[in-house]
Each structure stands twice: as structure tokens, then as C-alpha cells.
Structure 1
Amino acid sequence: MSHCPPVQRVAVMTGSKIRSLVAGLALAMLWTAPSLPGAAQSEPVAALPATEGAQTSSPNLTRTDVDTWLDGLMPYALEDGGFTGAVVAVVKDGELLTSRGYGYADPDTGRRMDGAATLIRPGSISKLFTWTAVMQLKEQGQVNLDTDINQYLDFTIPDAFDEPITLRHLMTHTSGFEESVKDLIVRAPSPVPALGDYVKTHLPERVSAPGEVPAYSNYGTALAGYIVERASGERFDDYVERHIFAPLEMQSSSFRQPLPAELADNMSGAFKTRDDNASQPYELIPAAPAGALASTAEDMARFMIAHLNAGAGLLSPETANEMQAAATPFLPPLNTMALGFYQQDRLGVRAIGHGGDTVYFHSDMSLFPDHNVGLFISVNSQGRRPAQSLLLREQFASRFVERYLVGAAPKAAQPYQPEADNPGREIAGVYEVSRASATNFMALGRYLGQARITVDAQGRLHTPFLGIPAIWQPIAPDVWQRAGSTQRLAVSYRDGKVHQWAYEPASPFMVYSPPPWYRSSALLNPLLALALLVSLATVVAWPLAAFLRWRYQQPFPLTGHAALSHRLARIGLIFVLLFLMAWMGLFVTLASDIGKLTAASDGLIRFMQGAQIVLYGAMMATVWNLVTTWSGRASWPARLWSVLLPLAVGIVIWFAAVTGLLSFSLTY
């Protein structure tokens, strides 16, 4: 539902991260790198063909030229990326310039994509309709962007910080809610709960003070949609139909789930790749205001025209300008949030917009207000490689801007001579992302998603970027630019230490910050590897020693309490390893299929939450073994090993605590 969503990452783990997790467990995490996501991976093949040289002048932005350009570009992009179909719409000066369809909406029947007729799922671009509705109500005096949202609700958001959450916080993704992925997307025929029921039963914990940390929140948008219902007295889908769709004549758009019968026949199928023609079920989204829209490219064009034309038909010019202005300058000069829109400035051209993803549909909308131009693209499949759809959308928008709005290829980073010999060396380390779960078992994703920054002798930063390694060249104090791109990375400091950093295009809605020492994978990974090594060695040596005693007819050297504690300690370690393996298996299963992140999995999750008792049993058994070993006549190696056993269990408990595996919450 969101730009770079947890739908694909689970605060978005890619398949490669999950495989790394499984491999790391199988190898007992022996000295694993502190940043699994930063592991080197093969770079995806370019989603679009390379530009042949720099443009010296811009071709006229005409329908004929755009159609020719698109017809040469899009078939290649679909074939290379493994996408089944796509639609594109371009608007200019208040009119639809062109809408195009490529590939198939239904490969089995041969029905092709059509920009005018084929419905797609724009995912989190739906949020712009929610924010437009909020701004309409603000104009009418029905809501205030800076009032405690509890004033508009029939339930209470608990106090956690001195400052209350406001609609402005929701619109800029700075409410402070942790990530919420349960029931984000459910499969038919599961019923979609009423919006009010959803926001009351899926309330996430507040983990940061409002206004302080950008952290993308689907729940926050759903909450804003419920406020629209409460303030207007209309159901959310009714409100949008009457106050947004009707004025703009968006006759092929709907938030209703399931899709109304009169629109269903024109709905595109949803696919994994063009190599797999099996259409997937219609995705149902309980947090409807955050991502449930179905629409056509031409209907989306009507929405773009309205916002490019100072909100015509929807908002007053003053309100439209307020909605489009930058609102959260966390890390200048990076792109940031407006009121619902992302800043998406490209190649020096001012842009605002939004991205959107369901599991299968991937879309992007860019508005260029200074040129009165808008661009929309959506594909109906995941593509063959991780992050392929995001790569396509980013390159597509940049190529469009390069060709029609600036007429020049991206400029390389300008030479910059920093005062320090090695700028950025203090930035090297491990960081965790703000958009993550923190108080439940999905916090394991936050831990596994910690990103490592390294710095070379030239002051260049090396980070993971969309699942691949990236190099960032210094271009200004505390600002870097990605090689071969105009995307930037910036760092802020507090008390002389790194406070936050972010990179484009994700900078509007999430940042990275240093984890506390007890949650840092740089410390905990080696300790966990040692704990697992000690546990595995002990468990393997136990039957091996028994076999050798049997083979050479030697008696067991321990008796009484010493013998019992020895055996219980090893049984405890077996259960510790089984506990970790079971949790990892469950996490991988849930993270790889968002359709399983529902109440149907609560029983398994609850069982695993209860299974933490084995950790405490193992700790008691290993401590008892320590006492009996030291009170007997054991050798010094045996005594030292008996010390390692409770330490190993303690490290596992530490790991389980910081990754949420000891939480009893079923809200995640």
C-alpha cells in the first residue's frame, strides 16, 4: 500500500534478506555481518534502456512525441522487468495529453491494458484522496489540523508523550506510531471490517513523540479517514465518491471492497510476473483510506489536473498551495513531506507526488507544478527481481524529466574538497530505520533491517540501497550523492554525534538513527553467534560423549544432583535452539506472505509467545548445573564451560527481548 512498503519488506524484507536469515541460523550465526540487508547482492538489470547521450534541447511535450517515446520505452521495460502490463497517463496545461496501455490485463483472454478503461490499484496514492478530504473539511471548519485528534474520535488514543497527535502529524507521517502490518491486506472472501472497527482494534503503540521522527504509517492514514467519517457524517467511500470523484467525473474509480460489479469487468488481473499468467485474488485492504482505491489512468489524470490547477473543483487555491508546500524539513536539503504529498524534486525540477504498492500493483504519480505537467504510471505485477518495480518507476520519472523538462542527462556529483581528510568517518556504523515495529515480534524485522554504513578513504559512503550496494560521493558538508544518480543522502547531528540520516527517495517518510547499544547488531550478532556455538557444541557433544562411553565401556562420571543438572542443562539448550528455529521459521513464513499476517495466525503466534517459558527453564537448569559443577570435583575446563552455558542462554534471552520475541502482544 505504501511507497517501499512493509508489504514487500515487512518494514520491507526482501526475499534475499529472508534467505540470509535462514542461512544465518543454519550456520549458527557464526560471525555474521552486523547488517544483513547490506550484504552484497547482484544488481538488478536496468529497468529502462540507457539514454543515448545527453539531450541538448528538450523535445516538445506533445502527444505525438510522448506516445513515440513511450511506445519505444515501455515494451522494453515490461519485457526486461518481467511485468505483465502497465498503464501511463500524462497531463499538461489542464488537459489529458495521453494515456497508454501496455501488455495484458488478462493474458488468458488476450485483454490488453487500456489507459482509459482498465482499472488498476494505485496503492498508497489512495492516501492523497484521504488528505484531500481532510483539507476539504479543514476549509469548512469541520476539523483543525493542529487540534488533538482525540477531539474527533469516539475512542481514545492513549497519552504517551506531552504533545498530542494532530491531523498535521498524521499527514506528515510524524505521529509516532510504530509500524502496523496485521490485516494490512487480506484475501477474499475474508470480510473487510468497518473502518471504525479496524482503527479501534489495530491501534499500534506510540514509540516517538509527535512531530519528531518521520515514520510512514498506514494506520495513521486509516485513522484520518475515520476522522473524515466522523466529521462529515458520511462513510469514507461515500464521502470520496460525492466530494472528489463526482466533481472530477472520475466514473471508473472506487474505494469500495469488493469492487462494484459495474467496474469489476474492467479490473486488471494481478500477477507475480509475466512468466506466470495466474491472476491473483483481488486484494482487500481494511485500512481502506491508506490504499484501497481502484482507478484508471485517465481518472488519475483528472485528479492530477485538479491539483495542478490549484485544487480546481476540490479545494481553494490557498488550501491547495498549503497542501503542496514543504512541511517537515528534517534533513535539508533532502526532499521532505508536504501535507500528504512527498517532495520529489528531480534534476532541479520542483515536483510533488506519491508512490503506491499493493503486493502486485506498483504505481507512482508525479506532479511538476512549475510546468503544469503530471505523470502517472502503474504496473500490474511484481516483476522478476526484488525492487524491480521501484527501480522502473524511479527511472521512468527521471527519464521523463530529463527528456521533457530539463533537456539534459543527470549531472555527475560536482567535485568537492572537504576540510577533513576523511569526511564521514564518524558516520560509519550500524543504524535502524524509523519505520518499524518496536513492541511486538515484528521488531525482529527492525533488528534484521539494521543498515551498516562504511566509509572509504575518499570519504565516500557505502550503504545498501533498494537491496543493492550503493556508493555516495560527498558533494557538500554532510551531504552525499549516489553515484550515477541525483539522489542524495544527508546526515544530522545532535550533541556532536550522528542523530539521523536518510536518503532520497525515502527521505520524506523515514530516517535512520543509531540503535541503543543493547539493540545494536554490531554488538549482539557476535555475542549471539558465540551463544549459539556454545549451545550447539554442548548439544552435539552430549550424545557423542555417551556413544564414546558406550564404545569404551566407561561409566557416566556424575551421580545424583550433578548428573540430573547436567542432563537438564543440555535438554534446556535443545529447547532454546528449537525456540529460535521455530520463531525464525514462523517469522519467515509470515514475512514472505502478507496474507498470513491476520488473526488466522494468532494461535501460532500465541503458542510461540508462550514457548518463551523454555528460555527461563533453560536458564534455571544451566545455573543449577553451574552450581553443582563448581561444588563438585569437576575439572577447570568443565567448570569454565558450565559458566558459558547460562551466559549463552542469557544472550539468547537478551536477543529475544530486543527483537520482541518475548512480547505477548497480538497487535503488530
Structure 2
Amino acid sequence: MSRPARAAWERAPIRLRLLALLALCVMSLQVAAQAQIQITPIKEQKRATAMPLGANELTAADAASWLDPLVADAMKRAPIAGAVVVVVKDGDILWSRGYGYVDVAVKRPVDPATTLFRAGSLSKLFTATAVMQLVEQGKLDLDADVNRYLDFSIPSRDGKPVTLRELMTHTAGFEDVVKDLYVPDASSLISNEAWLKRWVPARIFPAGEVAAYSNYGAALAGYIVQRVSGVPFETYIEQHIFQPLGMTHATFRQPLPPSLQADMAGSYLSPNGPPLPPGWMPAVPAGALSISGNDMARFMIAHLQDGRVGDAQLLRGETVQQMHSYARPSVPGLRAIGLGFYHLDRHGQDIIGQTSNTRYFHSALALFRQPHVGLFVSVDGADDGGLRRQLLNRFADRYFPPLPQIRQPTLATAPAHGAVIVGRYLGSKMSVSNFRSLRNLFTQVEVGMAADGTLRTPGFDQLVGPAHWREVKPYLWVDDASGSHLGAEVKDGRVRWISIDELAPTQVFLPVPAWLSPTRMQPLLGGVLAVFLLAALSWPVAVLLRRVLNKPVAWSDWAGRWYRLSCVTAILQLLFAAGWWLMLPRLETGTSQLDTRLRLLQLIGLLACLGTMAVAMNAWHAWREPDGWGCKLGSLALLVASLVAVWFTFSWHLLSLHLYY
């Protein structure tokens, strides 16, 4: 300020000077408001992940260094023609590689970007994602009666309807279904809607109580998506999952679209054999997905990144959290199931995923939620040689090793609690209302106790190896070699069911009633068959002896006729038993091509049951004829055996009018 100006300022009244200062402040604020403010955004950082102590750093190079030899060794030991392994991390594909061949004859290698593998039950993860999309839009309610959304009825049981939550957690209580789950060619393929409606399986457990894996339940959830969205299920998945995520090598369509047919892996039982027809699945939402490794990576990334991949929003973050964090344990202390995903936790890591088996393909998917890492493997062959289990276990051991653990002591209650558990059990994934229930006699698992108080479970050895279970918490056992747990749900001192970590999300094992145990049924059935065999042989033996000894027939004509008819009945019973012995393993194919043979077998069984009247008449005549006590007692034994056979036939629904199972 100049000297004259300063002098004028000092001579001015104080009020005038205050007004001047106020005006100057207002002008400064106006200038500041009009000025442009430049903001330099900070580059978005990837989520920080802490590396556990002793862990290898998860890099592409390190993954290749141990995955390549692991897969190569499995392909030498097992009948594997091709495989794909993909690892994602922090929203990107870290590593993906194909092994073996799409077409062995021309040596065309597997390409993780384009080669399609049948994902089987991993399809259910896409179905569950579609359900949750409609839930967050308010179009579906997880806890409402599913009949609200259907055009046919699912009967309630004990007054409890089925809900979508129960369909997604395999607790709707349906018995198992295998009939036409796979069909050999496209000409036999029916729609998911037709497959669901032609037979509603019995609900053998109360809703929400017992874990019992159900392809029918998953297919029903997919049909609800179709009904509510107003478009076919396959189209809905394409429009709302595949296209937003840029998945160009994934489809639920059967047969495959022409553009993808050349990329389908060959469906080999052996790398030295020819490719076989892959078979098709009417229950599309339960297992019809065909997908490449890299496209599965995009799906994994979306679930690991709060439902978002780039500009595509698959689900809102809160919906993803709801889906992933929900946990319903079937047995306290064992792995639980979420909304579609299984909990596969290891080493304190929150891991969700699922495994799958079809006749030719074996797959697994695992999402490590906190480090934002995903793993996918799929194998083309009759068996994976344990590759999936080794891959997941070693992946967790290498990159997310556990903290040092103090070995949990064995409880003093181990002998007493073990004695409660010892017995035979039957898996909840079973049939009850049809002739496939006959399998329940041959698929039981046994729990025994060794001298040292540990439990033995030979029926689970294929999953966990020869386990030695020791109790570390009340009714919770651990196998130190595998780290797996066996647990029991006990109420009022009685076992309701048991399971192990590997099966607990979707299946439990219920105690077998005493009358169904092999110690009672095998002697009973063996005795009955022995009586039928002796009766069948007695006829030609008696004829031969009479001719050799030149002895006349002492019976009346009617007695002789009833005797011969009783022997024919015994032969029919033997043929009926042999037929079921041969048929039972073939039922697992579920093919309708067995229908004619099943009807012929049932005709034999019907005649055998009707023949019981002839057996009764034979016994009546035998006790009236002057023959010795051998014939009288033999006729009575045959009558008792026939009555037991009739009871057995109807108890196991062997003459069921329908052929759905």
C-alpha cells in the first residue's frame, strides 16, 4: 500500500474500515468458488493379502513348478486322457494349463481357453447364482413354499413345505433319483420340465433336517428360475451370467451348439481307448454345464470380487456375502453347506466350492475367500487317480499352511462314546419308495472300534485313506493322518446320524435298524434261497430215484400236481433272485433301456408270488398223504420260505407298478 493510501486509510472512520475489510473477504470467497479444483485420483490398489508364515509365494512360476509334475504323475497312474487346471488371484487368471489331449487319435492338445469339459455338479453353482440374482431383485423368497412358483405340486411332509433354501442346501428330504439322469443320445433327451413332472420322488425326511444330496432338488431350483424369469433356463444363464462375464466357451445347451462341438473333450474311459458318447442330462440345472477352464476362471473371479468383473456386476456385494457366509452344518464340528457352495475349510482358511463326478469327467472348484484365490481342475477319464484331493490339499499346504498346532489330546470318554457309535449305517442319499431300495442291503458302512479305542471306518477309506479316528471333542473324532473329522449327532444318548468332513455338507449316515443289518438279513435270505434250491432239485432227484428203484408214485394225482407246481415256484423264486442280483448294479446307469428287462423280471416275480398258493396246497396235501415226515417238513419249510419271499418282494417294492427310481 502507498504512503498516501495508508494515510487516507488511517484517517478513515473505524466503521468504514470494517466495511472495506468485509467486502474484501466476500470478493476473495467468490473468486475461490469460481476457480477450478483439480483432483488427481489415486490409482486403485489390489487388495493386500498377508502371506502365512512358511508359505510359498503364489506366483505363476511357482504354481507350474509343482503342479506340472503332480498332474503328470496322476496321468501316468490313472486312466486320464486330458485335464485342465486354472488358478486365479486378485481378479486375474494367474495360471492356466491344459494337459493331455482333446482328441487322442490326432494328438490335439487341451487348450484351457477353448476346450470344454463337462462340469457335472459344478453346474449347481451357476443355478444357485441365478437363484440369488432373482432373490436380490425381490422376485424369489428363499424361505417361501416353492409351490408358489411352480405349475405342479410338491407335497408337504409333516406339514412342512419345501423352500428354495432347502433345495440349495440339499435338505428338502427327497429320496435319490437316477432314472434317466443321463441318457445315451440326443434322441432320448427330454426337457428338464418334463423330467421333473413325470415323477416326484418321495420326501423321506422332514424338510430342513437331514442333509441328503438331491439332483432333483437342484433341477427344481433351475425350473423355478425359468418360471419366474419367463425364459428357458439355458437362455437365462446365457443372458445373465455368461454374456456379462464374457464367457464364450460355456453352455448348458444339449446337444452343444455347432460352434462349440469341435472344442468338446473326448469323453474317454481310457487314453488308449476310443472317445465315447458323452451322454446328456435332462436335469439341466443339476449337471449339464460344459465349460472351458478360462471361462470357469471368470466365474470364480466374479464370486471372489464381490460379484464384479470389470464393468459387469453379477451379484451385489451383500448378496455374495449372504451366499458365501451362510453355513448349515449337518453334524456339529463338521464342514457345512452354504447356499449352493460347500464349505471346504482347511488350515483356518475360509474355503468354499464343490466337487463333481460324471462317468467320464471329474471336477473340483475351490475359492479361498480372504486371499481372493480360486482353483479349478477338471479331468477327462474314468478316474482322476486322487488328483483333485491331492491338488486341493497340497495347494492349501503350500500357499496357506497352518499355524503350528498343539496335538489335541484324546478324551477320556473315547471308549464310552465310541461304543455308542459302533454299528452299521446307511447313507441319506438313498431310495425308499421303489425297487432301488434293495441297494440299502448292500451299501451300508460299518463303524468298528480297535483295541486302542480308535474307530475304524472301512467304508470311508476311499475318501480319507485307512483312518484311525480318535475323539478330541465330545462325539467329534479326528484322523491325524488326513486331518479329516468324523462327527455324530447324538440326542438323548442315541445316535441320530454320523458323517465325515468330506461328505457332511450333503450327506449323513443313519443307523441301520436291527432287522435290516446283514447279521440278520443274510442268514434269513440265505436260508430261504437254500430251501428254494433244495425244493427245485428235489423234483428231478425224486424222478430219477423212482426210475432207478422202480418205485411207483405213492401220491394222489392232485398231490403230485401241487408238488410239481411248488417246485416250479421254487425255480421262479431262484430266477427272480438271480435276476435282481444281476440287475441291481445296472440300475445305477438309470437308462430306460432296462425297462423291458425289468418288466420281464417283474413278471417272473409275480408268477413266483402267485405260486405261493401252489406251495400252500402242496403243504396241505403233504400233511394228508401217507408219506414220511421228510416230505411233510420239507413242504412246510418251502411254505415258510415262500411267505418270507413274498414279504421281501413287497417290502422292497420289487413289483412296483411304475419304473421310476
Look up the match of 2:391: 396
- In structure 2, the CA distance between the partners of 1:466 and 1:267, relative to structure 1 (3 Å rule), is farther
Look up the match of 1:382: 382
Name structure 2 gaps, 5 residues minimum: 1-51
In structure 1, how many angstroms separate the alpha carbons of the residues matched to 2:263 and 2:290? 11
1:297 aligns with 2:293: yes
Letter of the structure 2 residue corresponding to residue 400 of structure 1: F
Matching of residues 256-405 of structure 1 within 5 Å: 256-276=253-273, 278-312=274-308, 313-383=313-383, 388-389=384-385, 391-405=386-400
Look up the match of 1:456: 450
Look up the match of 2:626: 633
Look up the match of 2:23: none
Quick check: 2:306–2:316 contact (8 Å CA) kept in 1? yes
Moved more, 353-362 or 319-328: 319-328
In structure 2, how many angstroms separate the alpha carbons of the residues matched to 1:462 and 1:650? 38
In structure 2, how many angstroms separate the alpha carbons of the residues matched to 1:566 and 1:424? 53
- In structure 2, the CA distance between the partners of 1:522 and 1:600, relative to structure 1 (3 Å rule), is same
In structure 1, how many angstroms separate the alpha carbons of the residues matched to 2:574 and 2:346? 50
1:179 aligns with 2:172: no
Matching of residues 215-614 of structure 1 within 5 Å: 215-276=212-273, 278-312=274-308, 313-383=313-383, 388-389=384-385, 391-406=386-401, 414-419=408-413, 421=415, 423-463=417-457, 464-465=459-460, 467=462, 470-476=466-472, 477-482=474-479, 484-591=481-588, 594=589, 597-614=590-607
Deviation at 1:115? Answer: 1.4
1:207 aligns with 2:199: no
Report SS of the residue matched to 1:589.
helix
Quick check: 2:88–2:301 contact (8 Å CA) kept in 1? yes
C-alpha RMSD of the superposition = 2.1
1:75 aligns with 2:72: yes
Look up the match of 1:14: none
Report SS of the residue matched to 2:575.
helix
Deviation at 1:156? Answer: 1.4
- Given candidates 55, 58, 61, the residue that maps to 1:58 is 55
Report SS of the residue matched to 1:289.
helix
1:620 aligns with 2:613: yes
In structure 1, how many angstroms separate the alpha carbons of the residues matched to 2:460 and 2:563? 48
Quick check: 2:489–2:498 contact (8 Å CA) kept in 1? yes
- In structure 2, the CA distance between the partners of 1:190 and 1:412, relative to structure 1 (3 Å rule), is farther
In structure 1, how many angstroms separate the alpha carbons of the residues matched to 2:319 and 2:166? 17
The aligned length equals: 603
Report SS of the residue matched to 1:180.
coil
Quick check: 1:100–1:114 contact (8 Å CA) kept in 2? yes
Deviation at 1:467? Answer: 4.9
Letter of the structure 2 residue corresponding to residue 490 of structure 1: G
Report SS of the residue matched to 2:470.
strand
In structure 2, how many angstroms separate the alpha carbons of the residues matched to 1:56 and 1:103? 35
Matching of residues 160-171 of structure 1 within 5 Å: 160-171=157-168
Deviations along 1:302-323, whole A, 9 cap, x unmatched?
A: 1111111122221112111111
- In structure 2, the CA distance between the partners of 1:190 and 1:378, relative to structure 1 (3 Å rule), is same
In structure 1, how many angstroms separate the alpha carbons of the residues matched to 2:414 and 2:65? 49
Quick check: 2:192–2:223 contact (8 Å CA) kept in 1? yes
Deviation at 1:294? Answer: 0.9
Letter of the structure 1 residue corresponding to residue 654 of structure 2: L
Quick check: 1:412–1:485 contact (8 Å CA) kept in 2? no
Report SS of the residue matched to 1:101.
strand
Letter of the structure 2 residue corresponding to residue 292 of structure 1: A
- In structure 2, the CA distance between the partners of 1:243 and 1:466, relative to structure 1 (3 Å rule), is farther
Name structure 1 gaps, 5 residues minimum: 1-54
Moved more, 426-435 or 226-235: 426-435
Structure with the larger RCO, 1 or 2 (CA within 8 Å, 6+ apart): 1
In structure 2, how many angstroms separate the alpha carbons of the residues matched to 1:493 and 1:417? 17
Report SS of the residue matched to 2:265.
coil
Letter of the structure 2 residue corresponding to residue 433 of structure 1: G
Report SS of the residue matched to 1:199.
helix
Look up the match of 2:24: none
Quick check: 2:157–2:203 contact (8 Å CA) kept in 1? yes
Letter of the structure 1 residue corresponding to residue 657 of structure 2: F
Quick check: 2:174–2:202 contact (8 Å CA) kept in 1? yes
Report SS of the residue matched to 2:254.
coil
Q: TM-score, length-normalised on structure 1?
A: 0.86
Look up the match of 2:87: 90
Letter of the structure 1 residue corresponding to residue 609 of structure 2: Y
Deviations along 1:365-424, whole A, 9 cap, x unmatched?
A: 0111122111100001113xxxx55x3211210011011111689x89744132354541
In structure 2, how many angstroms separate the alpha carbons of the residues matched to 1:412 and 1:473? 17
Report SS of the residue matched to 1:363.
strand
Deviations along 1:115-154, whole A, 9 cap, x unmatched?
A: 1221111111010000000000000010101111111011
In structure 2, how many angstroms separate the alpha carbons of the residues matched to 1:115 and 1:480? 40
- In structure 2, the CA distance between the partners of 1:291 and 1:458, relative to structure 1 (3 Å rule), is same
Letter of the structure 2 residue corresponding to residue 192 of structure 1: L
Quick check: 2:157–2:207 contact (8 Å CA) kept in 1? no
In structure 1, how many angstroms separate the alpha carbons of the residues matched to 2:545 and 2:557? 22
Moved more, 475-484 or 103-112: 475-484
Quick check: 2:186–2:280 contact (8 Å CA) kept in 1? no
Report SS of the residue matched to 2:102.
strand
- In structure 2, the CA distance between the partners of 1:421 and 1:287, relative to structure 1 (3 Å rule), is closer
Report SS of the residue matched to 2:611.
helix
In structure 1, how many angstroms separate the alpha carbons of the residues matched to 2:656 and 2:511? 23
Deviation at 1:161? Answer: 3.0
Report SS of the residue matched to 2:166.
helix
Deviation at 1:70? Answer: 1.2
Letter of the structure 2 residue corresponding to residue 549 of structure 1: R
Look up the match of 2:42: none
Report SS of the residue matched to 1:284.
coil
Quick check: 2:484–2:500 contact (8 Å CA) kept in 1? yes
Letter of the structure 2 residue corresponding to residue 381 of structure 1: G
Report SS of the residue matched to 2:152.
coil
Deviation at 1:619? Answer: 1.9
Letter of the structure 1 residue corresponding to residue 350 of structure 2: R
Look up the match of 1:16: none
Moved more, 463-472 or 305-314: 463-472
Quick check: 1:422–1:458 contact (8 Å CA) kept in 2? no
Quick check: 1:144–1:167 contact (8 Å CA) kept in 2? yes
In structure 2, how many angstroms separate the alpha carbons of the residues matched to 1:137 and 1:447? 42
Deviation at 1:460? Answer: 2.1
- In structure 2, the CA distance between the partners of 1:442 and 1:412, relative to structure 1 (3 Å rule), is farther
Moved more, 95-104 or 436-445: 436-445
In structure 2, how many angstroms separate the alpha carbons of the residues matched to 1:109 and 1:579? 48
